[in-house]
Amino acid sequence: MLVTKHFRLPDVGEGLTEAEILEWRVGPGDRVGVNDIIVEIETAKAAVELPSPYTGTVTEVLCAAGEEVAVGAPIIALAVEDDSSPQEGPEPDVTAQESAEPPPAQDEQTSALAREPVLVGYGPTHAQTERRPRKTKPEPPVVAPSTRTSRATPPVRKLARDLGVDLHQVAATGPSGRITREDIHHLAEQRAAESNTPAVRDDAVRTPIRGVRKHIAEAMVESAFTAPHATEWVTVDVTRSLKLLERARADKAFAGVRLTPLCLVIKAALTAIARHPEINAKWDAAAGEIVQYSDVHLGIAAATPRGLIVPNIAAAQRLSLREIALALTDLIEQARAGRTPPERMRNGTFTITNIGVFGIDGGTPILNPGEAAILCFGQLRRTPWEHQGRVRLRDTTTLAMSFDHRLVDGELGSLVLRDIARFLERPDLMVLHS
């Protein structure tokens, strides 16, 4: 016998409460199997593909693409074979056509928890949430008919509504006394000039604030207004580091490995953190303590079509230079493709952002919430530099590090930044301190 099973949106990340439906891979009538990808969603941290927990036929898609859905809300219904015995009775969530009296609440909850399908890596969600109603466009205001509005075409009337312009106050310049788009814009711009407010044209690009972009904004505001930032700068001669990279690329051990200057910056930062582990920590205001981590979950800021995200390399301090290069390539490819696993977006302890790829020398980076420091890596330049008593052209870069001044004082911040600079200037020293 076929029964209807509802697949509920799982919690695919730590503390997430909702997600946006990006794209359905199936529709009503499609046959799916267990672990077949049925939908792609976007959380506040990344895009995630969800597999089906059932084998059956799709009967109804309950949420449209672009809709935001609460965790725990049903998003799709499937007709599946009922494999339960007659004595067990149907599941309480299986079909809308049941007319029998449901069992007591306590038994129903226990039964549902026992049979709830669990996606690998996600776990069950037991929060009692309801599906968020679909958003509908507001009804346009009713405009009383008049001789003036009748002399404006429907697109022009819509433009007036969008810009908040009253057609009765517009001076018509079109043929036969018609109101034109230029008339609407002229009045809107005139009012904007009077109020010192920029006018918004009808061709303005409007982007909803949600998903990754919304999470970035909330995290940056939280960080900027809770952690007192301090930033220090240093310019470094990295000529020896770049020569080391050239030799390493020619070595068979690095064949097929994308070895970049950022890899050496990562190695230098990890070596400096090992010498000063107090900076690999967070300020826990709720517990009233400073928490120092043993592993460095190294976050790498990555620019993606959905905005800036900071996935991390877990326990990066255990990796060799070759392993760092491979992990970095994998992290960037996943981020740009929108396939970063949720576990890579959690529990970062120290971050590096590479703005040099955009041709920028330096900046004052904002901390990721829960981290004590972030390192900014600027562009590489050929610069006149004093070397061995003579001025020569050398390869240089600028490093800037922001830190949480509640737990990192000026001495600790300076020592960490000094060591990173020293290891990039003399990469051979990293061998002595690793």
Q: Which two tokens stand for residue 58?
A: 């799709």
Q: What is the 3-state secondary structure (H, E, C) of the chain?
A: CEEEEEEECCCCCCCCCEEEEEEECCCCCCEECCCCEEEEEECCCCEEEEECCCCEEEEEECCCCCCEEECCCEEEEEEEECCCCCCCCCCCCCCCCCCCCCCCHHHHHHHHHHHCCCCCCCCCCCCCCCCCCCCCCCCCCCCCCCCCHHHCCHHHHHHHHHHCCCHHHCCCCCHHHCCCHHHHHHHHHHHHHHHCCCCCCCCCCCCCCCHHHHHHHHHHHHHHHHCCEEEEEEEEECHHHHHHHHHHHCCHHHCCCCCCHHHHHHHHHHHHHHHCHHHCEEEECCCCEEEECCCCCEEECEEECCEEECCEECCHHHCCHHHHHHHHHHHHHHHHCCCCCHHHHCCCCEEEEECHHHCCCCCCCCCCCCCCEEEEECCCEEEEEEECCEEEEEEEEEEEEEEECCCCCHHHHHHHHHHHHHHHHCCCHHHHHC
Q: Does residue 331 sit in the same domain as residue 360?
A: yes
Task: Answer whether residue 126 is part of any domain.
Answer: no
**9 belongs to a structural domain:** yes
Look at residue 6 and tell me if it is in a domain.
yes
Q: Are 210 and 135 a contacting pair, CB within 8 Å?
A: no
* Position 334 in a domain: yes
Find all residues with CB under 8 Å of 109, minimum gap 6, and list them: none
Whether 144 shows a pLDDT value over 60: the answer reads: no
- Write out the catalytic residue numbers: 405
* CA–CA separation, 4 and 428 (whole Å): 65
| Residue 159 domain-assigned (yes or no) | yes
Q: 427 pLDDT exceeds 90? A: yes
Do 159 and 195 sit in the same domain of this protein?
yes
**174 and 235 fall within a common domain:** no
Phi then psi dihedrals of residue 337, to 5 deg: -85, -5
Quick one: 100 and 230 in the same domain?
no
Considering the domain boundaries, does residue 87 fall inside one? yes
Q: Domain range holding 98?
A: 2-115
Q: 369 and 276: one domain?
A: yes
* Predicted TM-score of the model (pTM): 0.60
Q: Are residues 196 and 281 in the same domain?
A: no
* pLDDT on residue 100: 39
Q: Do 169 and 253 have their domain in common?
A: no
**pLDDT score at 15:** 60
Are 177 and 260 members of one domain?
Answer: no
pLDDT at position 14: 57
> What is the tally of structural domains in the chain?
3
**Given a cut of 80, is residue 113 above it in pLDDT?**
no
- Determine the Cα–Cα distance for residues 194 and 310; give it in Å rounded to an integer: 43
Are residues 242 and 152 part of one domain?
A: no
CA angle 190, 192, 196 (to 5 degrees): 125
Which of 84, 115, 146 lies at the terminal end of a domain, its last residue? 115
Of 9-18, 192-201, 264-273, least confident by mean pLDDT is: 192-201
Average pLDDT of the residues in 274-290 = 93
Is the residue at 131 inside a domain? no
The sign one gets for the Cα dihedral 162, 168, 169, 174 is positive
196 pLDDT tier (thresholds 50, 70, 90): low
Same domain, 109 and 185: no
Q: The CATH number of the domain where 190 resides is what?
A: 4.10.320.10
Residue 125 lies inside a defined structural domain of this protein: no
The residue with greater pLDDT, 432 or 208, is 432
Q: Which of 206, 228, 255 is the last residue of a domain?
A: 206
pLDDT per residue as tens digits for the range 292-345: 999 999 999 998 877 788 999 999 999 999 999 999 999 999 988 888 888 888
Please report, for the domain that includes residue 356, its CATH number.
Answer: 3.30.559.10
Q: Are residues 56 and 143 in the same domain?
A: no
The last residue of one of the domains, among 115, 147, 167, is 115
* Whether residue 102 sits in one domain with residue 88: yes
